[in-house]
């Protein structure tokens, strides 16, 4: 057996070494890799002992490279609610409640006067944010014995296609594995993507790595500086501030609410919607819903930014002010942050004066031109490795989860019908179908996402003109068809009830 899990895993799951099992190597213990493993471990075929697996990770030890809270799109929230086992769903709700965001809309402030100019409220009473570490911990702590199962400090350096439709994987430490399925869940700089694009037989157009460096950088940091906190106009929502050629997203945080203890969790207010069957794979819903619909929402939502017309509708600003804030500042990569000639210098000055500014982290934006699927059926890329990372319409996390669940669904289909001589259940055929779907889903997101970047962040005259024309129109449309008063009232009630402890 070439892809041996640890003895402990073996005992626990009855996945014995030496049997003629289907061997899977997962490369990368990020959201995609861990979500895949989480769902794999709950699958019937896994419980029947048909799988051997290993999961390797380049990092030397547990920890995070990409920090800070992430916004969970409506689709990814639904996916998690459908697939998490009950105790993890409870944890999810608890972790989401740690970040005091009460709706999925956005509040825009006028850059010069620090004045709220537009507010969109969507889905009142939906907690849309989660700390990245909390999401990863849900996957890790529940059924993965992290210390024993995730093999840190391991890297793939070479791939070879060998007999019996297997892949030979060579690791940096010299170890060689032979696997039936190689899952590249190793993020936007995926080595599996690079290595597999150089394998013989790869079509020419996929031979080079198509990752492009977009001309923007995101600066991330957290601060409790009072001057910066003053820029938050909606302490219960996502706030955005626009300058000339840059934007900043501000997520209010409540540092009093940073308690990780596994205490009793009141989930009644959030209504655990699903009765979950803990015995079988939890894919009982239609995952074929076009993900692009969600992204359409994201797109519409983003397009409503920068409106010039003031909307001073207020939602309980007199309530709790947050005591810290998470900031994601997107700037042109070639921009000199010290220069003063941009609208909104005051905001940037306040950021730079905060004592936490020195701890900021910078992320350059990258994207693939198109989804990379590769020629070899048994090398599958999931999550950022197949499309690059941000911008991706803010749905990178949701997509990583969706990819992993869909892949499990494919394997489930294969194992349910493995003895039938039906072309449709042939694994290569199924994996190819998976690749086609992933491409169909991701390519439009890559395209839309870049469009939004040019529109929102672009500092040339053309994008300024488009912004000037489009945003007021979108604002008008939202007012015309939107039921703002009703939704404002609903949100106020939720916040008020929460304050009074009424669930």
Ligand X SMILES: Cc1cc2nc3c(=O)[nH]c(=O)nc-3n(C[C@H](O)[C@H](O)[C@H](O)COP(=O)(O)OP(=O)(O)OC[C@H]3O[C@@H](n4cnc5c(N)ncnc54)[C@H](O)[C@@H]3O)c2cc1C
Interface with ligand X, residue 487, by CB under 6 A: no
C-alpha angle with apex 226: 225 to 231, nearest 5 degrees?
A: 105
Interface with ligand X, residue 211, by CB under 6 A: no
Question: Which window, 63-71, 223-231, 347-355, 454-462, contacts ligand X (CB under 6 A)?
Answer: 63-71
Report the run of H or E that residue 26 belongs to, with start and end. Answer: strand 22-27
Of the pair 235, 396, the CB lying nearest ligand X is at: 396
Residues in region 213-242 near ligand X by CB under 6 A: 218, 220
Candidates 357, 363, 429, 454; binder of ligand X (CB under 6 A) is: 363
208: Cβ contacts below 8 Å, ≥ 6 apart: 197
Interface with ligand X, residue 187, by CB under 6 A: yes
Q: Write each residue from 18 to 57 as x if it is in contact with ligand X (CB under 6 A), else as -, in one continuous string.
A: ---------xxxxxxx----------------------xx
Question: Which window, 138-146, 236-244, 383-391, 489-497, contacts ligand X (CB under 6 A)?
Answer: 383-391
Candidates 37, 40, 70, 402; binder of ligand X (CB under 6 A) is: 70
| Residue 189 C-beta: closest distance to ligand X, Å | 6
In order, the DSSP letters of 27-72 are: E--SHHHHHHHHHHHHSHHHHTT-EEEEEE-SSSSS--SS-SEEEP
| Residue 395 C-beta: closest distance to ligand X, Å | 5
Interface with ligand X, residue 131, by CB under 6 A: no
In order, the DSSP letters of 211-253 are: EEEEEEEEEEEEE--HHHHTT-S-TTSEEEEE-SS-EEEEEEE
Of the pair 181, 276, the CB lying nearest ligand X is at: 181
| Residue 182 C-beta: closest distance to ligand X, Å | 11
Size of the site for ligand X (CB under 6 A): 35
* Residue 200 per-residue DSSP state: T
Interface with ligand X, residue 191, by CB under 6 A: yes
| Residue 413 C-beta: closest distance to ligand X, Å | 23
Contact 471, 303 (CB under 8 A): yes
How far does CA 27 lie from the centroid of its chain?
18
Q: What own/partner pairs with CB < 8 Å and gap ≥ 24 does 135-141 have?
A: 135/31, 135/70, 135/92, 135/95, 135/397, 136/30, 136/31, 136/34, 136/64, 138/84, 138/88, 138/91, 138/92, 138/95, 139/31, 139/34, 139/35, 139/37, 139/38, 140/34
In order, the DSSP letters of 432-466 are: HHHHHHHHHHHHHHHHHHHHHHHHHH--SHHHHHH
Interface with ligand X, residue 75, by CB under 6 A: no
Report the run of H or E that residue 196 belongs to, with start and end. Answer: helix 191-197
Interface with ligand X, residue 58, by CB under 6 A: yes
| Residue 30 C-beta: closest distance to ligand X, Å | 2
Candidates 105, 322, 374, 394; binder of ligand X (CB under 6 A) is: 394
Report the helix count and the strand count for the chain, using DSSP H and E: 15, 17
Interface with ligand X, residue 397, by CB under 6 A: yes
Interface with ligand X, residue 185, by CB under 6 A: yes
Interface with ligand X, residue 384, by CB under 6 A: yes
Q: Write each residue from 144 to 163 as x if it is in contact with ligand X (CB under 6 A), else as -, in one continuous string.
A: -----------xx-------
Of the pair 209, 490, the CB lying nearest ligand X is at: 209
Burial 409-430 (b: 16+ CB within 10 A, else e): bbbbbbbeeeeeeeeebbbeeb
Question: Which window, 259-267, 280-288, 304-312, 384-392, contacts ligand X (CB under 6 A)?
Answer: 384-392
Interface with ligand X, residue 186, by CB under 6 A: yes
Binding site for ligand X (CB under 6 A): 27-33, 56-59, 65-66, 70-71, 155-156, 185-187, 191, 218, 220, 363, 383-385, 389-390, 394-398, 400
């Amino acid at each position: 057996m070439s892809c041996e899990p640890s003895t402990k895993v073996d005992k626990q799951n009855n996945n014995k070494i030496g049997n003629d099992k289907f061997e899977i190597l997962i490369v990368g213990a990020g959201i995609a890799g861990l979500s895949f493993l989480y769902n794999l471990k709950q699958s019937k075929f896994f419980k029947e002992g048909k799988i051997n697996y290993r999961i390797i990770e380049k990092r030397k030890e547990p920890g995070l490279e990409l920090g800070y809270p992430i916004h969970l799109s409506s689709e990814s929230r639904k996916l998690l609610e459908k697939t998490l086992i009950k105790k993890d769903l409870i944890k999810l709700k608890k972790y989401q409640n740690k970040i005091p965001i009460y709706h999925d809309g956005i509040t825009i402030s006028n850059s010069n006067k620090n004045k709220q100019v537009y507010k969109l409220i969507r889905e009142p009473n939906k907690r849309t944010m989660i700390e990245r570490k909390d999401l990863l911990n849900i996957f890790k702590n529940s059924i993965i014995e992290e210390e024993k199962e995730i093999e840190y400090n391991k890297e793939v350096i070479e791939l070879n296609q060998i007999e019996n439709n297997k892949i030979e994987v060579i690791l940096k430490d010299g170890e060689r594995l032979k696997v039936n399925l190689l899952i590249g869940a190793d993020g936007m700089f995926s080595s599996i993507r690079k290595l597999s694009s150089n394998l013989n037989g790869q079509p020419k157009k996929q031979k080079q790595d198509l990752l492009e460096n977009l001309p923007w950088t995101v600066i991330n940091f957290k601060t409790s500086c009072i001057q910066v906190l003053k820029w938050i106009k909606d302490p219960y929502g996502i706030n955005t501030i626009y300058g000339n050629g840059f934007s900043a997203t501000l997520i209010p945080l409540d540092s009093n609410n940073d308690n990780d203890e596994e205490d009793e969790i009141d989930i009644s207010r959030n209504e655990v919607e699903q009765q979950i069957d803990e015995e079988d794979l939890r894919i009982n819903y239609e995952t074929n819903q076009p993900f692009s619909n969600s992204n359409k929402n994201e797109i519409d939502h983003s397009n409503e930014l920068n409106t010039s017309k003031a909307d001073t509708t207020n939602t309980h600003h007199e309530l709790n002010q947050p005591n810290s804030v998470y900031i994601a500042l997107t700037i042109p990569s070639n921009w000199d942050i010290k220069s003063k000639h941009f609208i909104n210098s005051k905001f940037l000055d306040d950021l730079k004066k905060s004592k936490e500014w020195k701890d900021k982290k910078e992320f350059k934006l990258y994207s693939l031109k198109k989804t990379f699927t590769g020629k070899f059926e048994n090398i599958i890329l999931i999550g950022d490795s197949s499309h690059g990372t941000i911008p991706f319409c803010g749905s990178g996390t949701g997509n990583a989860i969706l990819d992993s669940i869909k892949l499990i669904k494919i394997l489930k289909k294969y194992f349910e019908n493995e003895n039938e001589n039906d072309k449709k259940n042939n694994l290569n055929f199924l994996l190819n179908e998976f690749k086609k779907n992933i491409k169909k889903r991701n390519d439009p997101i890559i395209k839309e996402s870049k469009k939004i970047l040019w529109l929102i962040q672009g500092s040339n005259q053309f994008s300024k003109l488009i912004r000037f024309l489009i945003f007021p129109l979108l604002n008008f449309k939202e007012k015309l068809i939107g039921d703002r008063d009703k939704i404002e009232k609903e949100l106020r009630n939720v916040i008020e009830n929460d304050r009074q402890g009424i669930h």
